[in-house]
Amino acid sequence: MLYLLITNNLVAQETLKIVYFYNFAPFSWKEDQPLQGIMIDILNEVLVKEMKIPVSHKAYPWKRAQELVKTNEADGFVTVATPDRRTYTIVGSEPVVSVKWLMYVKANDPIIEQLKTVTSINDLKGYRFGSYLGNGWAKRNLSGMKINYWADKLDNTFKMLVNDRFSIYVSMPQVAHYYLKKLGLTDKITELPYVLDADSMVLCIRKNSPYIHILPKFDATLKKLRKSGRIQPILEKYLNL
């Protein structure tokens, strides 16, 4: 009886620790309120409500969040499964969120006409880019480009773009639309329609986490809930901000 009590207490204390980028609205962010966003709500729907797994959600600068998983201080995150992240996590197969990458430039910048002829990322060599620290997409896809500015905060990239610190910022439209509206820069920055890339953000769990075994069930449950229509209201809630 005592053994069962101790075992049950240990299980109860074993919380799945998920970390996020603190400044990544509408996917994950906190300002003057608790952590919120599409990723948090979807994981709660799948892990907590359906799979009955206790979960803690905490957010940090993105580079720091990834280090916490690497150093065994957190169990996982939701992001694009890059080769580097695959070295220390096992990745899910069902997208938590599907995204695309578009270019953003200062409104009325003469390069807009030039960029209309872009057919691949290679066509962008010679242009000045900006991004934020921890942005794996930029590090992976713009390695041969000139990165003029690495911001400590995602929203600072839009401010620096308006201030001519660089010419192009590549972002997910969901993120760009939120921050441009928040910063009052919607009329000062132009979104170009050419899709540079498309990605899926999936649940990635550290290879030595005690929760590594849940991924197949998580993927199956997420797929089932998406098919049943329970995920769509979460997306609509945040994308209409």
Last residue of a domain, one of 165, 180, 198: 198
Q: What backbone phi and psi angles, to 5 degrees, belong to 209? A: -75, 145
From CA 109, how far away is CA 191, in angstroms rounded? 12
Are residues 104 and 80 part of one domain?
Answer: no
Does residue 219 share a domain with residue 184?
no
List the structure tokens of 24: 């990544």
Residues 191 and 216 in one domain: no
Which range marks the domain in which residue 218 is found? 2-97+200-239
Give the per-residue pLDDT at 5: 42
- Residue 13 pLDDT > 50: no
pTM value is 0.83
232 and 212 in one domain?
yes
Select from 30, 23, 19, 29 the least CA-distant residue to 71: 19
> What sections of 71-214 are H helices per DSSP?
83-86, 111-115, 136-141, 154-162, 173-183
Q: Examine the domain organization and report whether 28 and 109 are in the same domain.
A: no
Residues 167, 193 within the same domain = yes
Report the alpha-carbon distance of residue 67 to residue 95 in Å, rounded. 23
Instruction: Taking residues 90-119, report their average pLDDT.
Output: 93
Mark whether 67 and 13 lie in a shared domain.
yes
Model pLDDT, residue 241: 62
Average pLDDT over residues 199-209: 96
pLDDT in tens, 17-33: 999 999 899 999 987 77
Shared domain check, 209 and 92: yes
CB 111 within 8 A of CB 105: yes
Residues 36 and 104 both lie in one domain: no
Look at the chain and report how many structural domains it folds into. Answer: 2
pLDDT given at position 10: 37
Mark whether 160 and 146 lie in a shared domain: yes
| pLDDT digits 0-9 by tens, 123-175 | 898 899 999 888 888 888 887 788 888 888 888 999 999 999 999 999 999 99
CATH number at residue 152: 3.40.190.10
22, 16 in Cβ contact below 8 A?
no
pLDDT at site 69:
98
pLDDT band at 225 (very low <50, low <70, confident <90, very high): very high
Q: How far apart are CA 165 and CA 168, in angstroms?
A: 10
Helix (H, G, I), strand (E, B) or coil at 32: coil
Note whether 123 and 167 are same-domain residues.
yes
Q: How far apart are CA 191 and CA 173, in angstroms?
A: 8
Task: Compute the C-alpha angle 94/171/102, nearest 5°.
Answer: 90
Strand partners, 59: 20
Cα→Cα distances 162→74, 177, 185, Å: 36, 15, 8
Please tell me the predicted confidence (pLDDT) of residue 190: 96
The pLDDT assigned to 192 comes to: 94
What does the alpha-carbon distance between residue 30 and residue 126 come to, in Å, rounded to a whole number? Answer: 36
For residues 183-191, average pLDDT: 96
Model confidence at 200, pLDDT cuts 50, 70, 90, reads very high
pLDDT the model gives residue 27: 95
Average pLDDT over residues 108-130: 90
Which residue type sits at 203? Answer: L
**Per-residue pLDDT tens digits for 42-100:** 999 999 999 999 999 999 999 899 999 999 999 999 999 989 999 999 999 999 999 99
**Stretch 220-241: mean pLDDT, rounded?**
92
Query: Does residue 173 share a domain with residue 108?
Result: yes
